[in-house]
Every structure is written in structure tokens, then in C-alpha cells.
Amino acid sequence: MSRSQFKGSFNIRIGRKLHRKLAMKAADEGLGLNEAV
């Protein structure tokens, strides 16, 4: 794989409950949601 294949972003759709759960877990770990992913 070459580096040019990776832009540094990807988009997904998740439900509100999962979004909240992931954001809270990231915050508990002192991370932003993007960093946690």
C-alpha cells in the first residue's frame, strides 16, 4: 500500500446512542473522539 491511498479521513454513520457512548469513553480516556478512533 502506498501512502497516497490514505487521506487521513473516513466517514461512517452510527446511531446517536453509540456516538454518545464512544464520545464518553474517549473523554474518560482523555482523548478526543477522532483520536480514540
Q: What confidence tens digit (pLDDT) does each residue in 1-37 have?
A: 776 788 888 899 999 999 999 999 999 999 999 999 8
User: What's the domain count of the chain?
Assistant: 1
SS3 label, residue 36: helix
Whether residue 17 lies inside any domain: the answer is yes
7 lies in some domain: no
- The pTM score is 0.70
Indicate whether 1 belongs to any domain.
Answer: no
Burial 2-36 (b: 16+ CB within 10 A, else e): eeeeeeeeeeeeeeeeeeeeeeeebeeeeeeeeee
Q: Are 26 and 33 in contact (CB under 8 A)?
A: yes
pLDDT of residue 3: 67
Asked, for residue 19, whether it belongs to a domain, the answer is yes
Q: What is the pLDDT of residue 30?
A: 98
Whole-number pLDDT of residue 21: 96
